[in-house]
Structure 1
């Protein structure tokens, strides 16, 4: 049964004006508009609205949400898993912030002592790694940059890039039964990290590189393609990329 805009607003707890705005910018267009001008929302519309509000809860701008939802690669179940990871991370940070506030209240009363480090526990202005993963996964900017970078190459340059890509994968596949933190494995993974940052038109931070490796095992499409070079390669690369990112963050 389709719902009118006021019914949806009351159900969700947002304003009618917000729903009208979502319609105006093409973010959420109702399934039907009657001859009298009433917007009617279907169950599919409500599912899409839920996705929008999950992204809003995580402070994604409306333009970015629209790009994500309009992407041909968007997958609802994948998005829900992403939302869950990001909200758990947000809850962890909030819990730590609340603990810092409680300690600060006690400190102000003279009940406890606090170190400078404890006073700022929970503050983290770096990029949320799961948000970065989401933006890398569904954002169009990285894809456009990569396509433009490759399009600007000559035929010989593209062939050389493809050969280099193939050589790196074969090298890593040959050592995939060893330890991902070995010197040999880390040297090969560094080649892969450098290749991505040199040939895709994008810069992968260490955190984004680590998240990319996790996607090799979380997304069966990645796993299937990578494991064509050897069974278990995706998992080995995931582990080696995580080691590489963690080690170089500390150095």
Structure 2
């Protein structure tokens, strides 16, 4: 909040540095910290009009006018449009104390929202640091006895600087343990269907195989936006990386290569050349 506003939620006392007739627009603008153009605009729209006059007949801002400007500044800082500020200030049923109470209530509301935003940022920082907001025990419980919590650290070391890791971390920050259980269940069901399709002789590029590839790409979208080119890159990794290949082959012997070919064939139907696909 602007420094000149912080102390202005109380009634303004006597105008300082004013002549006996009041303040000119330039001196009033300097006192409250706004531009002369702003005061001219507020005068034109009827929000704050100088109510005093010099002996020579010039319009000047009296003490009450300066107090009204201060109230306008607080409401404007709180995000109220000028028309709404005018309506509030001109409410015949409200006095200065009512305005102060309203301003205080709005300040409390905004402070609460900012505190919640700060907590959200803290959750984001936690997610960026860990990549998975679950304890190691919860990870094993949800993902199974074969799960290794250190895999999260390995993934961060490998992809921590990428836009996709940041996107994953942002989404992970908002996921509960139940959300992760749901993801784990969907992944387990997918792996079972993938293995069943290979055992049944499904051919990469067939409608059935392509549907499985798209289903897997949708699973990846839980973590980051996965294009068909990126999916093809994942397919290569599933077959070439010993860790991933061992994971899929443990589900069904030979599944890693078959899954790669299935992803490749599906990517080709969407205009991607798997051999030259890039992570983009």
* TM-score, length of structure 2 as denominator length: 0.38
Instruction: Name whichever structure is richer in helix by fraction.
Output: 1
* TM-score, length of structure 1 as denominator length: 0.42
* Greater Rg by CA: 2
